[in-house]
Amino acid sequence: MYEYKVEKYRVKNAEKGMNELAKLGWRVVAVLPNTAMYGVVVTYEREVDSEHSICAECGSKFLLASSKMESLCPECAHFLYGYPNCEHVFENGKCIKCGWNGNHSEYIKSLLSDD
């Protein structure tokens, strides 16, 4: 599934605007001239990802189905709320089971260093 977005730019600002949205995962579908305002109208699309979420504690992307909490990855939900952790299997810098990237927040690092 895709979501769409339409933005209008002055020609000189168009490239900057497109680069900024590209960082957020938006892909340019069409660029049309807007002669009325000497600018361009850019249509973007982005794949809607309903399977992943971003962890509010460590900032890692994670697979929603792998965690008991919508806003926390299994790792953070484990340390903050005592939920069972994922038995992480790391490949290419992230867990193939839950998607966690191995990042710990400062708070969880301090919990881990206490014992």
Span of 8-16, 20-28, 46-54, 79-87 interacting with Zn ion by CB under 5 A: 79-87
Closest to Zn ion by CB, 42 vs 98, is 98
Q: Binding residue for Zn ion (CB under 5 A) from 55, 63, 67, 94?
A: 55
Q: Binding residue for Zn ion (CB under 5 A) from 76, 78, 79, 94?
A: 76
Q: Binding residue for Zn ion (CB under 5 A) from 41, 43, 97, 101?
A: 97
Q: Binding residue for Zn ion (CB under 5 A) from 41, 64, 88, 101?
A: 88
Please count the other Cβ atoms lying within 10 Å of the Cβ belonging to residue 7: 17
C-alpha–C-alpha distance, residues 115 and 43, integer Å: 53
Please list, in sequence order, all residues whose beta carbon lies within 8 angstroms of the beta carbon of residue 50, skipping any fewer than 6 positions away.
Answer: 1, 64
C-alpha–C-alpha distance, residues 71 and 45, integer Å: 25
